Amino acid sequence: MRFKRHVKLERRLETVDIAPLIDVVFLLLIFFMLTSSFIFQPGIRVNLPRAITSEMLSEENAIITITAENLIYYNKRLVAVKELSSIFKKAASTHLSVLIKADRKASLGRIVEVWDICRQEGIARVNIAATQTTD
């Protein structure tokens, strides 16, 4: 028993319409673009000041973050000003430098207060974080 070949079927498969495939690919692309924009990075939001002469630091630092509300964080942990003295004593004993990440709207008095505590506890190197501009 011999079956006939479907000639119509073979001719139809020669030209494949890829328009639906392109539509699906674009829908997937749009879906992933929209969902990926809603992922927030955890951490403390600080709007750093801009500086033309800023440079990247390669050594390990004790990071102090001062928010716009003048709250002080040490390595993402909220601390009081009174606690900074003991923190900086430990950093000075291990010869760490301190990196101060202060928001643009943070008060200058709070930044200078943290800086003074660093100097009182014997930290030789204090850096202030800034974003680099290409002006």
Is 44 inside a domain boundary?
Answer: no
Domain range spanning residue 22?
7-36
Q: If DSSP states are collapsed to H, E and C, what string results for 62-123? A: EEEEECCCCCEEECCEEECHHHHHHHHHHHHHCCCEEEEEECCCCCHHHHHHHHHHHHHCCC
Count of domains in the chain?
A: 2
Please tell me the pTM assigned to this model.
0.57
Same domain, 65 and 95: yes
pLDDT at residue number 18: 86
**How do residues 46-56 score in pLDDT, each as one tens digit?**
666 666 555 56
Is 26 inside a domain boundary?
Answer: yes
Same domain, 57 and 94: yes
pLDDT at residue number 132: 63
Confidence class for position 24, pLDDT limits 50, 70, 90: very high
| CATH code: domain of residue 124 | 3.30.420.270
**How do residues 1-21 score in pLDDT, each as one tens digit?**
666 665 555 555 566 788 889
Question: What proportion of the chain, given as a percentage, has pLDDT over 90?
Answer: 11
